[in-house]
Structure 1
Amino acid sequence: MDAAIKDHKCVATSNDIYVDTKSWNLTHKLISSFLNTARAGSAHKDADMSVNSFFLGIGASAGYFLFQLFAFSLLRRIASNIYQSNSVLRRYENNSTLDFSNRNPSIWERFTSKYVPRIFKESIDNYEAIVGLDGFLFMRFLKKLILLFSLLSLGIVPVLIPLHLTSSDNNKNDLTRVFNSTQPQSNRIDKINMSNISMKKSDRLVCHFIFALIIIVAFQFFIVAELKYAYGKINTTVITKSYQNIVFVDNIPAEVLKDDSKIMEYFNKIQPNSVVAAARLPNNIFEIRKTHKNIERHAYIIEKIISKIILEKFFKVGHLLLSTNDPSVEIPPTSLMVLSYHQLCQKILFNLRSFDKYFYCELKFKLQKIKPSKYFVYIPQFKRKSALEYQYDSLDREIHYYQKYLDLWLTYFPKKNEPDSSTIPGNEKMQEYSNKAFLLFNSVSQAMQFYQLLQSSSVCQWNYPMIGAHPKDIIWINIVGRNPITITLRKLAGRLIGVLVILGWIVPIAFIGLVTQIPYLTNLLPYSNHFNVTSKCLRDVTKAVFPLVTLIFLTEFVPYIFRVISYLKGCRTGAEIEMDIQRWFFMFLLVHIFFVVTISSGLSLLLEKLLISPVSIPNILAHDLPKSSNFFCSFILLRGFAYSGGNIIRLKELFFEIVYYRPRMPTPHNKMQRLKKNLFFQWGSIYPLFTVIGCICIIYSIIAPFILPLAVLSLSLVYYSFKYLFIYQFNSENISETHGKLYPEALSQLYAGIYCMELSLIGLFALFNCYKLSTSMAFMSILTVLIHAEISKKFIRRLHNLHLNSLHDYTSSDSISPRAESLESYIFPPITNEIWVPTDQMGIAENERPYLQASLSLKCDFEKAYITKFGNICINPDISE
């Protein structure tokens, strides 16, 4: 057969041979180029980056950030409901209502509005009451990292960078050959990192060892001090928070499940007067919550229709308000034409929002005889109604539906002052309960004592306790359908999927390494030179920025995947989801942003090395870390520019405001909720990113000290962007508050940076044949593990439960008074029983008052919203909800 094939090749034409050889060579070059470079870390492409290329990439990122800052300065005054929602609600900057001002601000005030000095002067101690303990401790986390890296920069950068610059050797046997780098050049950014040290000057590594010891010792003191602060802060803060005296318990025995009083009696036997109320979870909890959702939906529609009726009448006579000579009416100092134009724009917008009124027709059937015959048929007749008739008909219909669901709701709600609610007609649905209940304790200290007691129980009853859950934060499907076997299987499946996500995300991360090889195509593929960028400056910017931006985008979507996985695991509250996401997202970022990007663009090579030689981890880190220093210096600064710019410009919210909220008809309640809840934070997804940045800075603090001042700048930008959000925008309660539990976890995760730094230095010292330093660093690694274990035992594990001794001082002074209403809100959420009717200067709302009071069972409030001269619905700034 081989001979036949050989003969066949011999008779082939020369042209055929040329085509086959060319195709084979092209394919071979493509595959070889991609495969050979893909098994090197994608961060290694920046190993020989010049100083010009480095600063071009940084300059491009800084330029985009400045553009975002300029756009924000313009949009801040135009879209004040997004960028100054607190100023609209609380009138931070002035005491006037939302109207035009006579004063022409200067250019500086127009772009800053004096908010820049304020975000620098404002103390973070004021944030706890605004954003909760999680947000306050996050700001402290950033502030302490900035302080730590600033001190390290002052001590390390002036010593190690000059030492690196003067430690090179023109001999080709220096360490640059060990790192597979090109010959050192004067314009290479690598000259300021550790890879520039030659083998002949390895005695200078003693300085690196000393600074590493200083970092390790300082880090231990830093962690202990912050954990002590967090421990005391959490203990003293949780005691004052709402719902902390409410405990959920599962698997209640059947003999005490018959009545709430029996559950209370069971606990009061252990400690008298400890439980003041109990609420069993009914089996029809989903039906109750569905009814509640329908009530809220129809209440919203009723308020929207009432606003439409008033605006429909207002725009018919609103032009009279602009031309009135009444001195009591304030007219802005603008021409009548401009005022009329603004009102016309609002009228057009209102008509577009309520365009359905033009298509409303009433369908009736009239019995009519067909003249040629004796038969009668029903002929449809369409009668078009006016916009007001259409709105009034819709209002009557919605009032009917609202009352229907409200009557159904009252059948669920237990009647008070009755000996047995099951005997009341209509309350038969409340006779069946699940083996779960919420318990209201007399004090937080008693609730915490019983919570820890139930948590340590190993029996099959009175288990799976949960304390301090916000009623709106509970995931009811994971509460009601909780079965021990099912939950175990769901947790195992969730962890397996989480591991698969971490491993499977290697494919898109490896794409970063692939796209950096695009220049190969211009040399290998025919006719591809037309797509080659001739500008060297543009090529350098693309090479420096594109991989970083790609990495950022690829990691932005992962928290949403882990959020679904946490839901699958059976997390019962959003707070539990945040804590679960923090652990998994940190592992993901550490693996992909650091290990995969640094060591290999595919995990296969890393696993191959570890399987062949498990003890080669220090050598792997020592070989690959210096080559990745330029990449991470760029990444740290670019991430700071991108994150802080995204915080202030908020493109997603701006897009939804234009595309979704503006076309919708706003109601007073809707505008208030929009102002208060247009910004929220999911701290479990935010903490890990900056924890990993802190780890990277610790790892490279010795290898590439230049990363420390860059980290200080990057984290400072993020820090002040959050300060602006807290002062001017954030105004909502964080229902998924973990009460500070994320902060100690983030501090503990920083140890990953210390371990990687120690392992890399062990390998680096070994590469320089400094075995005494390598052995000493190995000893320090063992000591670090022991100290970490002791700190974890003393602080981290105890932070999940309050220390009972710390509660004795608060037992008699708990700020939370036991109220049965707060317990009932878990089963029966509060419903909307008030409609805000916007008033106007033409008296239209007052004319509607008799009709509304006669038709609605809801209370109508005429003081919390008003209509401006142009037809805008605004919230009265003097009220608070």
Structure 2
Amino acid sequence: MSSPQSSSADTSVSQLIVTIIPTLIIGAVYFIAFIAFRKVQKRVYEPRYTVETVPKDLKPHESPKGPFAWITNIFKKPTSYVVQEAGADGYFFLRFLLELFAVLILGCLITWPILFAINATGGNGATGLNSISYSNVSDKWRFLAHIFVSWLFFGSIIFLIYREIVYYTTFRHALQTTPLYNSLLSSRTLLLTEIPKNLYDEEELRLRFPPATNIWYARDYKQLQKDVKERKKLAGKYEGALNKVLTKATKITNKAIKKNEPAPEPANELNTYLKNGKKRPTHRLKFLIGKKVDTLDYGVERLGELNKSIAKDQENRDSNDQMPAVFIEFPTQLELQKAYQAIPYNKDFKGVQRFTGVSPDDVVWENLSLTATKRRIKKIIASTILTLMIIFWCIPVAVVGAISNINLLIDKVHFLKFIDKLPSFLMGLITGLLPVVALAVLMMLVPPFIKWMGSISGCITVQQVEGYCQSWYYAFIVVNSFLIITLTSAAASSVTSIIQDPTSALHLLANKLPKAANFYLSYFCLQGLVGPVAMLFQLVALILAQFLGKILDSTPRAKWNRWNTLGQPGWSTTYPGYELYMVITLSYSIIAPLIIAFAAITFLLFYIAYSYNLIYVLQPNKNDARGRNYPRALLELFTGLYLAEVCLIAMFVFGKNWVAVALEAVIGVVTLASHLYIKYTYLPLFDIVPISALKYASGDETYAYPMHDQGRKEIKTEGINYWDGGNELGEDSTTQEVLKTERQGSDTTATATAAGVAGDSDLSIKRNSDEDVEGKLPNVAGAAIAAPTKGVSWLTKFFNPKKETFDVVRNNMPAAYDNYIEYNPEFTRTAYNDPAVTDEEPHIWIAKDNLGLSEIEKNKALENGVDVSDENADFNEKGSIEYTGPPPSYEEALRV
């Protein structure tokens, strides 16, 4: 049996080394494999360049061939290229990683020279990594250094948040004034929910918005939605079953021919290959208890019935009951913004919610029927459920936290004695790597549930659901991946001493809490050294592409989708993880400054990995949030500051250092004041575009972008003026000037950017410029800005973010954003109808066989009013399905 000294010995260095060694090895293996396969498996590692269906505007140049050339290539790309390839959402996430890396490097320069010296000579007798942490300081007056350093470092974080919020606001306004975004239907459409009964009358609505062109009222289509959902599900089941039996018939025939045996007769009868009909595919109408039916016979008959009933309901769509929501299209974004900014200043719209930038795909249609009261009740219920989940999830997470210090529990928990006999390597593995892996597995289960609760809570748009998920998931992981882990780790390391002397609890926690930072050093090792290279290597995607995909995909559509469908980033679940890294870093930045370097390296490596994937692998998200996740993430960083400040104050309270408590409270007050100021000043600016900015961008040189307040005062003025005559049709000639400016240029049709639902016959993109996509957007206001940053140093722009003006930011937009969009009037007429109203009959896609079976099934389906096609798909010599072209009625997805 080991002595108490051995069981309580400092293992921080061995724990870190034991974590670093395997993670370095795993990371190196992943990276070497990525380098080896990158140019061999282009569908996995460069699908944006390889897949033919990727729109031209989203197809990057081929990545450099050298093993490391792609890294230097990433850092050379200008802002305009990154925005073009990654989209605004991707660009801002990369900026998030890079800005945090930069501020953490600054943090090292601020904290290390002072705090390492203060801690190392603190005289508290700590060893290992703890010798350079807060826990090694015994003289309470030395903590003044920690306080003043925290003022500098936390102040730099607050300033970073402020300057980036200012930049995002300018960028968002500049983006919306580009011809591409200015002409988007979603940029010209206003969604109002919870409208009063008197506005159910279209004439009443048009009296308030004379410039409006199209108006779509949301209606109750519950039965139609149910039928469409059933049809879609049944079509997939029928298509899969039909392809399966055709494949079986083909392979049986091929096998007979290969063995020189007679083929089954009659060859053109499907039941011949299904044990005379005994092995026909079946399914139950309800899970487990439903009636069992023949999938092929029931499928084609029921699909025919659904096609007829759905078509009838779609024709009579205007007879359904109205819901308290309406979509209003305006001829230009200028008219839309005037109306959008005016809503709060009219008593008729009190309590009405307003949305812009919403595409048809972005709407959560089932929530449009909710009244304000119902939405409030559903939101309370969802919030209560999620709060309870956060609380009770602490139990399994607390166990993980205790494991990180399990060697210190051995004295009191006797059945764990065997652990103390393990080799130091295994002890480091258990206390370092095991808790990190267990924590990652636990966290994977949470985001889907939060998104579901977001829909239940009454969110109107997918963007709202994503924002809801980002905020709640962030709260969840801060509590369960940080607070509980930290507290249980510190408590576990002190439990023996506290039991012996309960009065020493506060002093021991103050001494042990800094040591919990050692767990997070291991955490950053795993995340930073393995996470980025694992993301690049994409082991799962490689296995699916080479092995499982070929086994799992049994229909031409599945094979087509496997090749042509690219992954999209999920920003609502991506941001919180990196916000958590920053919360951990901030909380321990003064207590254990070494963690700052580990976090900085982690952010840099993830920046490189995400840069590659967002340019060459992932496609921009279909629901374009215009980077809206970025300011939300920045504001949520205040949580990390609060926790760091509270943690320091608590440590000073434990040590009864009241002078330090008072001084640290100063930065806490500054943090709170800054947080409230930024939210009050900038939150109203994210979804609006200043009218003066739109007029200036259209070429009206009598206007200028209001850089001094970025449009804050102008919103109120324009909003009030709208109801005092500013909404008169034709009152402002600038509207016509905007339209005229947008339509200048050539008539060359460009390839559309994938992000919407309309077919290419519904929309075309016109080019105003033949510049390369890496070029800059010309300044449409007419003022020459060939060198927009001339005379303004980078240092001046850094400390005065408003020196990065509207023209400067707009000049960094991609040349592709100088294209404008023209929609087919037929598409526009029904664009914001419920998808159930415009849902088309399914086109079943099967492979063509040499036995004539596919032709027979096509005719049978046609008799029931179901479209089945065997074009562009057949069987190879092995009897496997192959596609030779796109699915029937395939249309490229376009921006909406």
- Answer whether contact 1:47 1:627 (CA < 8 A) is retained: no
Secondary structure of the equivalent of 1:214?
Answer: helix
| 1:408 aligned partner, one-letter code | S
Which has the larger displacement, 402-411 or 290-299?
290-299
For 1:420, the equivalent position in structure 2 comes to none
Identify if the C-alpha distance between structure 1 residues 117 and 766 changes in structure 2 by more than 3 Å, giving closer, same or farther. same
1:640: how far off?
2.9
Q: Which residue, 393, 397, 412 being the options, matches 1:509?
A: 397
Secondary structure of the equivalent of 1:243?
Answer: helix
Taking the aligned partners of 1:47 and 1:795, their CA distance within structure 2 comes to 51
Q: Mapping of 1:714-733 within 5 angstroms?
A: 714-731=602-619, 733=621
Q: Which residue, 568, 571, 574 being the options, matches 1:686?
A: 574
Structural RMSD (CA): 5.0
For 2:718, the equivalent position in structure 1 comes to none
1:665: how far off?
4.5
For 1:634, the equivalent position in structure 2 comes to 522
Secondary structure of the equivalent of 1:280?
Answer: strand
Q: Mapping of 1:691-706 within 5 angstroms?
A: 691-706=579-594
- Answer whether contact 2:405 2:492 (CA < 8 A) is retained: no
For 2:191, the equivalent position in structure 1 comes to 248
| 2:88 aligned partner, one-letter code | L
1:230: how far off?
0.8
Taking the aligned partners of 1:82 and 1:184, their CA distance within structure 2 comes to 49
1:734: how far off?
2.5
Taking the aligned partners of 1:252 and 1:184, their CA distance within structure 2 comes to 65
For 1:450, the equivalent position in structure 2 comes to 339
1:144: how far off?
0.9
Identify if the C-alpha distance between structure 1 residues 295 and 583 changes in structure 2 by more than 3 Å, giving closer, same or farther. closer
Question: Are 2:2 and 1:60 equivalent residues in the alignment?
Answer: no
1:697: how far off?
1.6
| 1:141 aligned partner, one-letter code | F
Which has the larger displacement, 77-86 or 574-583?
77-86
Taking the aligned partners of 1:578 and 1:528, their CA distance within structure 2 comes to 43
1:143: how far off?
1.2
Taking the aligned partners of 1:464 and 1:46, their CA distance within structure 2 comes to 59
Taking the aligned partners of 1:622 and 1:839, their CA distance within structure 2 comes to 74
1:512: how far off?
2.0
1:773: how far off?
5.7
| 2:330 aligned partner, one-letter code | F
| 2:92 aligned partner, one-letter code | L
For 1:191, the equivalent position in structure 2 comes to 131
Q: Mapping of 1:388-537 within 5 angstroms?
A: 402-414=303-315, 427=316, 430=319, 432-454=321-343, 463-480=352-369, 482-516=370-404, 534-537=422-425
Taking the aligned partners of 1:843 and 1:358, their CA distance within structure 2 comes to 12
Which has the larger displacement, 311-320 or 57-66?
311-320
Taking the aligned partners of 1:306 and 1:125, their CA distance within structure 2 comes to 46
| 1:279 aligned partner, one-letter code | W
Q: Which residue, 224, 232, 248 being the options, matches 1:287?
A: 224
| 1:798 aligned partner, one-letter code | L
Identify if the C-alpha distance between structure 1 residues 791 and 530 changes in structure 2 by more than 3 Å, giving closer, same or farther. closer
For 2:799, the equivalent position in structure 1 comes to none
Secondary structure of the equivalent of 1:681?
Answer: coil
1:474-513 deviation digits (Å, cap 9, x = unpaired): 3333223x13333222222222222212221221122124
Q: Mapping of 1:255-270 within 5 angstroms?
A: 257=200, 263=202, 265-270=203-208
1:400-446 deviation digits (Å, cap 9, x = unpaired): 655544333332334xxxxxxxxxxxx38835444443322222333
Question: Are 2:766 and 1:757 equivalent residues in the alignment?
Answer: no
Identify if the C-alpha distance between structure 1 residues 447 and 484 changes in structure 2 by more than 3 Å, giving closer, same or farther. same
Taking the aligned partners of 1:356 and 1:149, their CA distance within structure 2 comes to 69
Taking the aligned partners of 1:483 and 1:548, their CA distance within structure 2 comes to 44
For 2:790, the equivalent position in structure 1 comes to none
1:319: how far off?
14
Q: Mapping of 1:648-663 within 5 angstroms?
A: 648-650=536-538, 661-663=549-551
Identify if the C-alpha distance between structure 1 residues 288 and 598 changes in structure 2 by more than 3 Å, giving closer, same or farther. closer
Secondary structure of the equivalent of 1:704?
Answer: coil
1:142: how far off?
0.7
Question: Are 2:48 and 1:89 equivalent residues in the alignment?
Answer: no
Q: TM-score, normalised by structure 2?
A: 0.67
Secondary structure of the equivalent of 1:247?
Answer: strand
Secondary structure of the equivalent of 2:328?
Answer: strand
Query: Between Structure 1 and Structure 2, whose CA radius of gyration is higher?
Result: 1
1:256: how far off?
6.1
1:670: how far off?
3.2
- Answer whether contact 2:97 2:603 (CA < 8 A) is retained: yes
Q: Mapping of 1:251-330 within 5 angstroms?
A: 251=194, 257=200, 263=202, 265-272=203-210, 274-288=211-225, 290-291=227-228, 294=231, 298=235, 301=238, 305=242
Taking the aligned partners of 1:797 and 1:604, their CA distance within structure 2 comes to 46
1:269-304 deviation digits (Å, cap 9, x = unpaired): 2343x2211223333344146336616853885598
1:542-582 deviation digits (Å, cap 9, x = unpaired): 22222222233333322233223223312233221111122
Identify if the C-alpha distance between structure 1 residues 867 and 163 changes in structure 2 by more than 3 Å, giving closer, same or farther. farther
Q: Which residue, 74, 92, 95 being the options, matches 1:137?
A: 92
| 1:233 aligned partner, one-letter code | F
For 2:679, the equivalent position in structure 1 comes to 792
Identify if the C-alpha distance between structure 1 residues 198 and 620 changes in structure 2 by more than 3 Å, giving closer, same or farther. closer
1:752: how far off?
2.3
1:145: how far off?
0.7
- Answer whether contact 1:302 1:399 (CA < 8 A) is retained: no
Taking the aligned partners of 1:485 and 1:551, their CA distance within structure 2 comes to 38
What runs of 5+ residues in structure 1 fail to find an aligned partner? 1-32, 34-44, 93-107, 175-182, 321-339, 341-354, 364-381, 385-392, 415-426, 607-616
Taking the aligned partners of 2:557 and 2:547, their CA distance within structure 1 comes to 20
Taking the aligned partners of 1:657 and 1:773, their CA distance within structure 2 comes to 59
Identity value in percent: 19
Identify if the C-alpha distance between structure 1 residues 661 and 269 changes in structure 2 by more than 3 Å, giving closer, same or farther. same
Identify if the C-alpha distance between structure 1 residues 228 and 506 changes in structure 2 by more than 3 Å, giving closer, same or farther. same
Secondary structure of the equivalent of 2:190?
Answer: strand
Taking the aligned partners of 1:267 and 1:429, their CA distance within structure 2 comes to 17
- Answer whether contact 2:447 2:573 (CA < 8 A) is retained: yes
| 1:571 aligned partner, one-letter code | C
| 2:470 aligned partner, one-letter code | Q
1:747: how far off?
0.7
- Answer whether contact 1:454 1:464 (CA < 8 A) is retained: no
- Answer whether contact 1:668 1:838 (CA < 8 A) is retained: yes
- Answer whether contact 2:19 2:428 (CA < 8 A) is retained: yes
Secondary structure of the equivalent of 1:873?
Answer: strand
